[in-house]
Each structure stands twice: as structure tokens, then as C-alpha cells.
Amino acid sequence: MNIYKLSVKKIVNGIIAFIHIPLLLVVYVIKPFIKIKFGYLSTGRVGHFGLDLTYAIAANNNKIIFYYLQDDVSNTQLEIIAKRELNVNSYYRYFVYAYIMMGLSKMIVVPHRHSVGGCSGPLILDTFQATFSNSAIF
């Protein structure tokens, strides 16, 4: 990698992420008592943002997960819903960067479609299929 091709923004983000490594060690020490995780939501496309947000809200039962919005926001209404339903702040990106710098990228909460290899995995509507098939309407 050519050091001259690095932008000032990437260098500043790297320095700030490096400063957050001791904070991640504190999170790691209290992990047996309080489980805190950091992750991101892809917001570049409306479909990706909607799917990621749906899974994040559905999986957000009694867990402490801090998210940041990864790209430019494609839909402001979904952004409002994300900030209302989840712990979303752009500051949390530095914790994710620090995890990556430490080589612990497996500890990051990734969007569901990234963990199943796209949208080919089971969707939320598939879970409710049994409920609708047994109803009197069909």
C-alpha cells in the first residue's frame, strides 16, 4: 500500500480507532457480566437498508448492540426508524474499526445478509408462513 495514496480522512479514522483499543479491552473485561457488541447497517441501497434494519430490530431482544450507518443514507425515514429502535450513532464506527485493527472482525455484528451470503437465506416472512397456512382465510 502506498502511504501517499491514503487520504487524510482514513489516517484520522485510523488514529481515532487506535485510541479506542483500550476502551475495547474494557468492554472485553466486562463481557462475562454485560455483553456489549458493535456492528453496522448497510444504508447505501434502500433494499439493503430495509432488510438489514428489519433483521436488526427482530434480533434486538435484550441485547446491547451499538450500530453505525455504514454508507450515505438512502432513505431518511428508515434512518429515523433505526435511530428510534436501535442504538445508532456514527461514533460507534471507531469501535468497529478498532476491532478490525485488532484482528477481531468476527466479533463485529454484521448485517444478516452478509452472514448468510446474500438474500438466499431464510427470510423473516418464511418464519410466519406456518402461521398463515393454518389460518381460515386460505
**What's the whole-number mean pLDDT along residues 34-38?**
88
Model confidence, pTM: 0.73
Question: Does residue 138 belong to any structural domain of this protein?
Answer: no
| Cα–Cα distance for residue pair 49/79, rounded to 1 Å | 9
Q: Give the three cell numbers for residue 15.
A: 488514529
Residue in 126, 105, 107, 104 with CA at minimum distance from that of residue 55: 126
Pick the residue with more confidence: 119 or 22? 22
Question: Does residue 3 belong to any structural domain of this protein?
Answer: no
| Cα–Cα distance for residue pair 136/133, rounded to 1 Å | 8
**What's the whole-number mean pLDDT along residues 47-55?**
88
Question: Does residue 13 belong to any structural domain of this protein?
Answer: yes
What is the structure's pLDDT at 69? 92
What is the structure's pLDDT at 82? 92
Distances (CA, A) of 60 to 17, 64, 112: 26, 8, 13
DSSP one-letter code for 91: G
What is the structure's pLDDT at 59? 82
**Number of structural domains, the chain?**
1
Question: Does residue 4 belong to any structural domain of this protein?
Answer: no
Say whether pLDDT at 112 is over 50: yes
pLDDT over 90, % of the chain: 16
Domain that holds residue 119: 9-129
Q: Which backbone phi and psi does 71 adopt, to 5 degrees?
A: -115, -170
Say whether pLDDT at 137 is over 60: no
Question: Does residue 137 belong to any structural domain of this protein?
Answer: no
Pick the residue with more confidence: 88 or 9? 88
Handedness of CA 45, 67, 81, 62 (dihedral sign): positive
What is the structure's pLDDT at 34? 87
Question: Does residue 91 belong to any structural domain of this protein?
Answer: yes
